[in-house]
Every structure is written in C-alpha cells, then in structure tokens.
C-alpha cells in the first residue's frame, strides 16, 4: 500500500507552457501586423474627421418614419425575387443532386465530378458577382436578380440533397430496382420519398437566406429594395436609408421566425 | 363482409378525390400567384425566353478566358492580403465582442435575465437582420472609404452570425455542472469560466473557424461599396467593361473562397 506518487499536470510543464505562450505571441504579432497593414495604413484618417463628426453622421441615420410606406412595394418585390429565385433553385437542384450523389450518379467518373463541380462553383461565388454577370447579360431589373439568386442557391440545395440521397437507406432503392424499373423510376419511387422532408426543410431554410440576399441585389441593378437603398445613399438621404434598414431588418427577422416555425413542424 | 370492403374502397376513393382536389387547388393558386408576381415585378416575358442567347455569348465571348496576367500585378496581390487581413481582424474583434454577448443571450446561464438577456438578443438580431454589404455601405458613409469600414462591417456580421450559433451551444449545456460550480459560492463570472466555457469550448472553436470562413466569403465583395479589399478591382474593371480582367478577379475570388473553405473544413475536422 504505497501512496501513489504525485504526478504533476503534464500541461503545466514549462516546455509546454512556453510553447503555448509562443504560439499566442506569434498569433498576436501576426494579427497586429495585419491590423497595421490593412487598417492603419490604408485608411484615410484625415477624411474621416473627428469623433463629433462621426457621431453626427451616425445620428443622420435615424429613421424617417414618413418614408416608411414608400418602402412597402420594393420590400414586396424583394420577397417575390427571393421566392422565385428559391423556386428556380429548387427545380434546378434536382438534376444536379442526381448527378452529385455518389450512390445513384449515372457515371462515377464523368457525371459525379460534373455535379460536384457545379455545386462548388455555385457555392463559392457571391450572389453579387452572379447578379453583375446577369445584369450585364440581360439588363437591369428583377429578372437578373432572380437568376442570380437561383444560380447561387443551387449549390446549397443540391449539396444537401445529394448528401440526403447518399444517406438514404438502400433497401427501398434495391427493391424498386429489383422490379426492373429503369433509373429514373428508381429515383422517383426509391429515393424521392426518402429525401423529400429534408429537401422541403432545406428549401424553406434557403428561402429564408435568399430574402436576406435579395435585399442587396439591387445595389448592382438586380431589383428589389437594394436599388432604393443605393439611390437614397447616393442622394445622401441618410434618414431614408435608416428607414429602409429598419424595413429590411423587420422583414428578415420575420422571415427567419416563420421559416424556423415551419421547419420545426416538418422535420 | 362485402359491404365492409366496399366501404373501405369507397373511403379510399373519396380520399383520393380529396387529395386530387387539393392538388388542383394548390396548382391553381400557384399559377395565380405566378401571374400576379410577374405583374408586380414587371418581368417582360419575351426577354425571359430570349435571354439565353445573350447569356451564352456573354460567357463564351466576353468573360472567357479570364485574364490572369492582370491578376498577377502587385496591387492585386496587396489587395488580396488586405482582404484576408480584413476578414481575420473583423472576425477576431467580432468574436471577442460576441463571446460575452452569447453568454448574456443564453437564457439558461444569462447573468441578468431581464436586462442583459434582451439587450444581447436585440444586438445580435439587429446585427443579423441587416446584410453585410448594407452594413458596409452605412459604415463607409460614417467612417469614409477604406478597409476600416469593411473590417467593422465584418465585425458586425460576425456578431450576428456567430452570436446566434454560440448562444445556441450555451443553451444546450449540461446544467448540473453549472449548478455544481454555483454551489461552491462562485459568482456569475466564475460560473461562466468554470461551468459554461469548458463545456462549449470545443464547439465554439468550430463555430469561430466556420465564422471566419463565412466572413472571408463576404469580404471579397466589400470593395464593391468602397469598403476595402479585392472587390474594388472587380467594380473598377466592370465599370470600364473590361470583362476579361473582371473575370480574372472573379477567378481569384473563387479560388480564394474554395481555399478558405478547405482550410476551415480541415481545421474543423481535425478538432473533433
């Protein structure tokens, strides 16, 4: 019955403590260098003015409530753009997910990388970039906005759907295949019923995100409330800009609340 | 015996008729909505059908191939560093602000449920409700052009994005351990550091990395409204209709975003 030797906490050894602090110090130095480089050197401090000026500009943004009714139509437009963009994305996501799901893709070396590539391209390009390209191709208005949102959202929808398909139970799929059904039928009757609830939940989530995205498309000519916002900012009507910000915030928060409610009910 | 079967069959038929009715009504409602919304949005139908030609010409002739020589200039490389710097600083400062906010905004351990809880929730909701690009425009109006406004916009976006996720993690913790710390007579700050933080730390680090990834994605276009970073050159090249060089910038943005996503994915998987 010897008493166990008291072992020191290995994490308290000087070598480890030194290494930990060294990592923190290097990270801090890196961050400070980045901060000096990006913020201190690149900012026009002269033009910013004093703290009082900054405060007075900030106060200019206090909302002008009389302007509020005028934002209703653009807000409705934004909502419709989000709705249409999501609808198109949902439709386009089905074939892409079919290509990008490893277990049902027609060809693992040709169609699978194609589907994955489309997903990566759609997910890593910002909606503003898509909107710019569509605006310069088809002109101003809600149409390029809808197209941009659709193309932007396909990636997420197809990715989550493909993952759901990959996780689908193989039993029903094999059963349908055993009846001699061709691939499209196998997909429709073996896969779709299994992934449908997940798909709908993700579509609602995507709609919620797209409301937020749709509100900035107007900055580059994609229609919706963003266009009005860009206009009032250019005319230096900051009070109106404040009103629009309040309107967008209300819409986005309401959208998030409703979409959470519906999703909790479905899943 | 026979009548029972017939009853079941009739019930099935009427159910099916009902379902078909509903499908029909839904389809009709959708069509009415579609016509109405196209009218509200003033979308010219003839342009929808004719847009694929110009779109294809745009991609095949004007955008492709991207001009990568333009992108290799030192000024672009410097602005890539600036973009990364903005995203790192914005998410770092934002995270430092949002960690206490997430603590306040978690109902189960909030130190003051009737003052700090609603306050923290309101801050997070407002930061979340306004899109990042719009924050950037507002902050550019206040602080002037440059990466300071962009960094602050990313900081705000971090508060909104990470705040909700971090608070959700805190609300899911095991309260027994919190109660155990509280039973020793520890004050709220000590309860947070010894009862809450050890439980959520692993998932918080994952969220922090994920947040950086998300903010980096946003930072690439902030230059569009003059808030610093790579977006400035994109706007510049597009406004003079230099599509090949603009496509070069877009290519760089896409590559950087894929890279950041890969890094964040790798780091998060190494953690768990």
Are residue A82 and residue A136 in the same domain, yes or no?
Answer: yes
A-chain residues near B218 (CB < 8 A): 126
Q: How far apart are CA A38 and CA A47, in angstroms?
A: 17
Inspect the interface and report whether the beta carbons of A57 and B142 lie closer than 8 Å. Answer: yes
Task: Return phi, psi of residue A202, to 5°.
Answer: -65, -35
Over 80: is that where the pLDDT of B58 sits?
no
Are residue A35 and residue A100 in the same domain, yes or no?
Answer: no
Burial of B185 (C-beta count, 10 Å sphere; 0-12/13-18/19+): exposed
Q: How confident is the model at residue A115 (pLDDT cuts 50, 70, 90)?
A: confident
For residues A71-85, average pLDDT: 87
Residue pLDDT, tens place only, A220-249: 888 888 888 888 888 888 888 888 888 888
Domain hosting residue B108, numbered range: 68-271
Domains contained in chain B, number: 2
Neighbours of A21 (CB within 10 A): 10
Are residue B39 and residue B141 in the same domain, yes or no?
Answer: no
Inspect the interface and report whether the beta carbons of B85 and A38 lie closer than 8 Å. Answer: yes
Are residue B83 and residue B50 in the same domain, yes or no?
Answer: no
Are residue B13 and residue B108 in the same domain, yes or no?
Answer: no
Here the tokens at position A197 are: 């609830």
Are residue B56 and residue B89 in the same domain, yes or no?
Answer: no
Neighbours of A179 (CB within 10 A): 10
Burial of B127 (C-beta count, 10 Å sphere; 0-12/13-18/19+): buried
For residues B244-272, average pLDDT: 85
**Average per-residue pLDDT for chain B:** 84
Q: How far apart are CA A185 and CA A175, in angstroms?
A: 12
Please report, for the domain that includes residue B148, its CATH number: 1.10.3720.10
Candidates A24, A40, A42, A56: best to mutate against B (most CBs of B within 10 A) is A42
How far is residue B253 from each of residues A125, B20, B71, B152, B184, measured CA to CA in Å?
8, 49, 11, 21, 53
Inspect the interface and report whether the beta carbons of B143 and A54 lie closer than 8 Å. Answer: yes
Domain hosting residue A33, numbered range: 8-45
A-chain residues near B92 (CB < 8 A): 31
Q: How far apart are CA B229 and CA A87, in angstroms?
A: 33
**Average per-residue pLDDT for chain A:** 83
Contact B186, B109 (CB under 8 A): no
> Do the domain assignments include residue A54?
no
Here the tokens at position A112 are: 């699978």
A-chain residues near B214 (CB < 8 A): none
The structure's pTM equals 0.82
Q: How confident is the model at residue A13 (pLDDT cuts 50, 70, 90)?
A: confident
Chain A nearest-CA distance from B262, in A, is: 11
User: pLDDT value at position A1?
Assistant: 47
A-chain residues near B144 (CB < 8 A): 43-44, 47-48
Q: What is the dihedral of CA A11, A17, A19, A22, to 10 degrees?
A: 150
For residues B200-228, average pLDDT: 87
Residues 224-263 of B with CB under 8 A from A: 224-225, 228, 234, 238, 243, 250, 253-254, 257-258, 261
Higher local confidence (pLDDT), B265 or A4? B265
Please report, for the domain that includes residue A262, its CATH number: 1.10.3720.10
Inspect the interface and report whether the beta carbons of A80 and B40 lie closer than 8 Å. Answer: yes
> Do the domain assignments include residue A105?
yes
Task: Return phi, psi of residue B145, to 5°.
Answer: -65, 155
Domains contained in chain A, number: 2
Are residue A119 and residue A219 in the same domain, yes or no?
Answer: yes
Candidates B60, B136, B138, B151: best to mutate against A (most CBs of A within 10 A) is B138
Of the candidates B184, B139, B129, B118, the residue with the CA atom closest to the CA atom of residue B160? B129
Candidates B144, B168, B210, B260: best to mutate against A (most CBs of A within 10 A) is B144
């Amino acid at each position: 019955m010897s008493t166990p030797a008291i072992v020191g906490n290995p994490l308290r050894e000087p070598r480890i403590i030194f290494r930990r602090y060294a990592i923190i110090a290097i990270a801090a130095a890196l961050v400070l260098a980045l901060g000096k480089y990006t913020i201190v050197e690149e900012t026009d401090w002269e033009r910013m003015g004093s703290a009082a000026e900054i405060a007075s500009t900030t106060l200019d943004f206090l909302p002008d409530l009389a302007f509020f009714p005028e934002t209703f139509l653009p807000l409705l437009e934004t909502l419709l753009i989000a709705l249409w963009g999501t609808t198109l994305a949902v439709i386009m996501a089905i074939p892409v997910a079919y290509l990008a799901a490893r277990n049902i893709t027609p060809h693992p070396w040709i169609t699978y990388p194609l589907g994955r590539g489309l997903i990566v391209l759609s997910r890593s390009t910002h909606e503003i970039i898509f909107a710019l390209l569509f605006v310069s191709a088809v002109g101003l208005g809600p149409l390029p906005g809808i197209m941009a949102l659709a193309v932007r959202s396909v990636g997420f929808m197809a990715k989550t759907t493909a993952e759901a398909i990959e996780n689908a139970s193989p039993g029903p799929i094999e059963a349908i295949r055993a009846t001699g059904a061709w691939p499209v039928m196998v997909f429709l009757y073996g896969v779709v019923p299994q992934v449908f609830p997940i798909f709908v939940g993700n579509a609602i989530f995507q709609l919620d995100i797209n409301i937020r995205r749709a509100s900035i498309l107007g900055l580059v000519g994609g229609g919706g409330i963003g266009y009005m916002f860009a206009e009032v900012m250019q005319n230096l009507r900051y009070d109106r800009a404040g009103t629009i910000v309040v309107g967008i915030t209300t819409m986005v928060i309401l959208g998030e609340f409703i979409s959470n409610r519906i999703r909790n009910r479905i899943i | 015996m026979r009548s029972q079967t017939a009853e079941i069959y009739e019930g099935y038929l009427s159910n099916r008729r009902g379902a078909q009715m509903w499908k029909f009504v839904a389809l009709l409602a959708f069509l009415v909505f579609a016509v109405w919304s196209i009218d509200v949005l003033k979308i010219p139908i003839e342009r929808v059908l004719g847009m694929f030609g110009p779109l294809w010409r745009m991609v095949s002739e004007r955008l492709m191939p991207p001009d990568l020589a333009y992108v290799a200039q030192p000024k672009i490389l410097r602005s890539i560093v600036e973009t990364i710097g903005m995203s790192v600083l914005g998410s770092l400062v934002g995270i430092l602000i949002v960690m206490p906010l997430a603590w306040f905004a978690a109902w189960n351990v909030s130190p003051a449920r009737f003052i700090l809880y609603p306050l923290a929730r309101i801050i997070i909701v407002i930061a979340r409700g306004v899109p990042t690009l719009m924050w950037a425009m507002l902050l550019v109006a206040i602080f002037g052009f440059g990466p300071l406004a962009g960094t602050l916009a990313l900081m705000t976006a971090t508060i909104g994005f990470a705040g909700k996720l971090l608070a959700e993690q805190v609300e899911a913790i095991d309260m027994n351990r919190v109660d155990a710390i509280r039973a020793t007579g520890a004050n709220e700050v000590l309860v947070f550091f010894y009862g809450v933080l050890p439980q959520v730390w692993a998932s918080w680090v994952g969220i922090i990395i994920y947040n950086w990834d998300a903010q980096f994605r946003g930072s690439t276009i902030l230059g569009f409204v003059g808030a610093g970073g790579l977006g400035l050159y994109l706007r510049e090249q597009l406004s003079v209709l230099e599509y090949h060089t603009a496509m070069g910038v877009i290519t760089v943005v896409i590559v950087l975003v894929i890279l950041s996503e890969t890094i964040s994915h790798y780091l998060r998987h190494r953690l768990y």
